Structure 1
Amino acid sequence: MFRTRFTARSAPDRTVRTRISAPALRRVAAVIAAISLGLLTDVFALGTSASATTVPGPPSGWSTVFSDSFSGSSGSGIDSQWMYDTGAGSTFGTGEIETMTNSTSNVHQDGAGHLDITALGSGGNWTSGRVQTTSANVGAPAGGELEVTASIQQPTGGLGYWPAFWMLGPGQWPENGEIDIMEDVNALSEVSGTIHCGTDPGGPCNESNGIGSGLRACSGCQSGFHTYTMILNRTNTSAESITFYLDGASYFTVNESQVGTSTWQAAFDHNLSIILDLAMGGGYPNGVCGCTSPTGATSSGGTMSVAYVAAYSTSSGSSGGGGGGGTGASGTGPITGYQGLCLDDRSASTALYNPVQVYTCNGTAAQQWSVVQAGSLIKVFGMCLDVDAAGTADGTKVDLYTCNGTGSQVFIPESNGELYNPQSNKCLDDTAYGGSGTQLQIWDCADTANQQWKLP
């Protein structure tokens, strides 16, 4: 379960992009549709209406890869696309003080198309809620784009409130990647967008602050619903970017060149989970107010209300056509390594922990691997290439396991042919150049012949 999150307090403004964004196109389309129906009242308040609970359709050339409009009955908990992340907020590494629960007092659907996350305080003790998708389920395919968006009304209540809509990759923070699409603190009616990557402390992403927009005005964000969006653009795989939007207008962009290619690939060239939570206290609100929050004047019962969450993707290498957002494979066939040997599922077995080896290429099904670009998962017989027991040491064996999207199963193709596992900071390795029948391992990346692989 993903636990760690840090956030940025300030960062210099960057020049925003001027292209017509996918969020903006959807808003224009919605306006046109509304006019055609004669529904002129409040049509230009799109993104601020409490009744806007319907997930927008994808723009032309995009596909919906995840959505939830929270249509459950009043008082019901989350649906099966989500899971609770419970426990003391102090374990998340951010200084927050609440306890996250699975109680419907803290997290429930309201019967009117909203998911409400409510912080409740009594005598200095606070409970709240944090939910995330059940897997790292959305990512931008190489050569394509991913948009993740939500319609949210921020909570009121005063010092200490810390609502967040964000994404997290599998594996070790911060190299696994984090994208904070919406954060506000202390009920300021502001918003910030931030990325986290690399190493902590310091590193190319200035951890634990990250690279962010800093807080900026978000007028009416506590009195109505507004859309918070990010687009991960991989159409040029050597110059990728992440752009943040408020109500369809871009306000901050981070480029791959700011952190370096290897750091960026480890952080963002794979699937991530979507997370919604309402924290209380911690480093971000305390740093902004210069105080310890929450205080005695902070009101209990502040609610972060979510009308919908959605993710859209283009297909790999195209700004048009259907897309998978990590659900489609970039290719299926043999993966070859040192001396032309093939990656092989020993004895064509689907048993858990079955060894993955190199073997003489023979065209059998045990050597037909599917490489999922956005998730960087490598599959055969529906099972995934996996680092045994989530090991991170040199020499840890590689085997097959049920696909679960954890950091043990992320192998990012590098330009030099290596398959890099961010969780361990090591590469897939043909053990000691061992020859046909040798089980694979992970080892420090060395750009050697026994770590270079040719994908299908």
Structure 2
Amino acid sequence: MTTQIRHRRRLLAVAVVLVALTGLLVKVAVSASASVPPTPSGWSLVWSDDFNGSAGTPPSSAEWITDTGHGYPGGPGNWGTGEVQNYTSSTSNVSLDGSGNLRITPLRSGSGEWTSARVETRRADFKPAAGRVLRIEGRIQMPDVTGQAALGYWPAFWALGAPYRGNYWNWPGIGEFDIMENVNGINSVWGVLHCGVNPGGPCNETTGLGASRACPGSACQSAFHTYRFEWDRAATPNQLRWYVDGQQFHSVSQGQLDAATWDAMTGHGGYFLLLNLAMGGAFPNALAGTGTPTAATVPGHPLLVDYVAVWQSGTGPTPTATPTVTPTVPGGVDARSTIQAERYQAQSGTIVETTTDTGGGQNVGAIANGDWLRYDGVNFGSEPARQFKARVASGAAAGVSGLVQVRLDSPSAAPIGDFALAGTGGWQSWRTVPANISGVTGTHTVYLTFSSGQPADFVNVNWFTFSTT
């Protein structure tokens, strides 16, 4: 699922043949949901989610961000792909099914508006250590719909380079790994690499470097299949590999790309993972030869995800580019944990960048008057929190300063506390600044808002936390 419009001209002929073959396939019973497989010998589990939970509940907010609307704030419209649906957080569009699966369901309203869902991991540091292999895997059943009724369906399981968060205009240089893509109910999985520049460049954008094949045994739409991507830093030159049900069908070697392109794609802090079901857009339109979805497209056929897991070859500690994942408590994120600034649910006006602060990872930057960050489900517990601390830096010029403010449940609510900040000596010159706040209990949406009398950027934020004293 690219973040810019793609046309897939080179794959059109293959797709047409596969459409013809789809009608010849006999459907088989859907396999029962399975747990995340045991970690293979010689590997370490980095992260996983097997989507266990009660039917009708949303995916874990500690692990997943649910995207909404028609694009990231400040990013390209229609998610850069021309897709038409409105992504929502409604459990009608995205929820657990009670049988160990995540269910993403596209719906069409009486007025013709399409809604669906897109989720992405909070973690954005998936990257193999030097000399090791990273394996990203999901067990997925594509929407069980084919033919005219499937026109416009575009499910995907993919990864984006972490620097895309908060920028939204640096694609494809930061890299994109499409682990599983499918359109229009065709019995085929596409694996694609996006990199370099757009249009053209070493990855032939907007098409990318891709390959496709039919799902082994049973059709992609009629059964669960396992889709896997491997990033191999043990091989010389390094390798990227794509698999379906353990059968490799695509690879890209470091030797195929120039050094600058490879470094831009792999030299940052890592990748975050995404699952979504788009409706319409450049890819399904190109293969259908018409705009999609059409009047014949039938809503309500879900994408089912049994598990997503990430392993790394070797044993022992697994290095990460991002500090420890924020702990959670029943009811949300623990307010007394170290909440990483880049793990927001929404933002306005900011970017995410690599930090040199202790622990590495990323910080939120380019913050100026009127910008804000939103964090959902922050649980303060029953003992009132009375202090706020934030790790901040500023390279603002002399005379430029501003306020870092904390608000609850609305960006326009009265601040419960704030502190002033002027230049600290540089945008990566960090200090921890405390502020008293009015006592807070319970679970809230926390907004960090930023106010300044000057239009220039005045602060970067790495992390924040709350305490009783």
TM-score, structure 1 as length reference: 0.63
| Distance of 1:70 and 1:438 partners within structure 2 | 45
The correspondence for 1:51, drawn from 32, 46, 61, is: 32
Once the 2 structures are TM-superposed, how far is the Cα of residue 385 of structure 1 from its aligned partner? Answer: 7.2
Cα pair 2:33 2:99 within 8 Å, conserved? no
Distance 1:390 1:142, change over 3 A: farther
The structure-2 alpha-carbon separation of the partners of 1:182 and 1:10, relative to structure 1 and needing over 3 Å to count, comes to farther
Tell me the equivalent position of 2:409. Answer: none
Q: Which moves more between the two structures, 49-58 or 106-115?
A: 49-58
Secondary structure in structure 1 of the residue aligned to 2:264: helix
After superposition, residues 13-412 of structure 1 pair within 5 angstroms as 50-79=31-60, 80-88=62-70, 90-122=77-109, 123-155=111-143, 156=145, 157-171=149-163, 172-214=170-212, 216=214, 219-236=218-235, 239-269=237-267, 270-314=269-313, 320-322=314-316, 324=318, 326=320, 380-382=357-359, 388-389=365-366
Q: Give the letter for the 1:169 counterpart.
A: G
Per-residue deviation at 1:208?
Answer: 1.3
Q: Distance in 2 between matches of 1:313 and 1:303?
A: 30
Deviation, structure 1 residue 268: 2.6
**Is 1:141–1:325's contact at 8 Å kept on the other side of the alignment?**
yes
Distance 1:102 1:191, change over 3 A: same
Note the alpha carbon deviations across 1:229-274, whole angstroms, 9 max, x for none.
00000113x5111100000110110111112222112113441001
- CA change 1:138–1:402 in 2 (3 A) is farther
Task: Call closer, same or farther: CA 1:385–1:139 in 2, change over 3 Å.
Answer: closer
The structure-2 alpha-carbon separation of the partners of 1:311 and 1:325, relative to structure 1 and needing over 3 Å to count, comes to farther
Q: Matches of 2:175 and 2:308 in 1, distance apart?
A: 20
Question: What secondary structure does 1:88 align onto?
Answer: coil
Deviations, residues 66-92 of structure 1 (Å, cap 9, x unaligned): 100101111000102001011126431
How many angstroms apart in 2 are the aligned matches of 1:279 and 1:438?
Answer: 45
Residues 52, 307 of structure 1: 8 Å contact kept: yes
Q: Is the 8 A contact 2:156 2:276 kept in 1?
A: yes
Q: Which residue of 1 aligns with 2:15?
A: none
**Structure 2 Cα separation of the partners of residues 256 and 262 of structure 1:** 11
- Cα offset for 1:5? 4.7
The Cα offsets for residues 80-129 of structure 1, whole Å up to 9 and x where unpaired, read as 20010111264311010000000000000011100000000134310000
Taking a change above 3 Å as real, the CA distance of residues 11 and 256 of structure 1, as seen in their structure-2 partners, is farther
1:154–1:189: 8 Å Cα contact kept in structure 2? no
Could you say what secondary structure the match of 1:389 adopts? strand
Instruction: Kindly indicate whether the alpha-carbon contact (under 8 Å) linking 1:10 and 1:212 is maintained by their aligned counterparts in 2.
Output: no
Count of aligned pairs: 316
Q: Quick one: structure 1 residues 64 and 383, their matched pair in 2 at CA, closer, same or farther if it must change by over 3 Å?
A: closer
Question: Which stretch of structure 1 is more off in the superposition, 83-92 or 154-163?
Answer: 83-92
Structure 2 counterpart of 1:51, one-letter code: A
Three-state SS of the structure 1 residue aligned to 2:162 is coil
Contact kept? 1:65, 1:325, Cα under 8 Å: no
**Cα shift at 1:383:** 6.1
Q: Identify if the C-alpha distance between structure 1 residues 61 and 327 changes in structure 2 by more than 3 Å, giving closer, same or farther.
A: farther
Contact 2:193 2:210 in 1 (8 A): yes
Q: Which runs of 5+ in 1 are unaligned?
A: 13-46, 315-319, 330-349, 354-375, 392-400, 404-436, 442-456
Q: 1:8 to 1:192 in 2, by over 3 A?
A: farther
SS of alignment partner, residue 87 of structure 1: coil
Q: Which moved more, 1:276-285 or 1:381-390?
A: 381-390
Using the alignment, how far apart are the partners of 1:203 and 1:126 within structure 2? 34
Cα distance 1:259–1:50, how it changes in 2: closer, same or farther (>3 A)? Answer: same
Alpha carbons 2:214, 2:220 under 8 Å: kept: no
CA RMSD of aligned residues (A): 3.3
Asked if structure 1 preserves the Cα contact closer than 8 Å seen for 2:125 and 2:162, the reply is: no
Q: Give ranges in structure 2 of 5+ residues lacking alignment.
A: 12-27, 72-76, 164-169, 324-337, 342-352, 369-389, 393-423, 429-469
Displacement of 1:8 in angstroms is 6.6
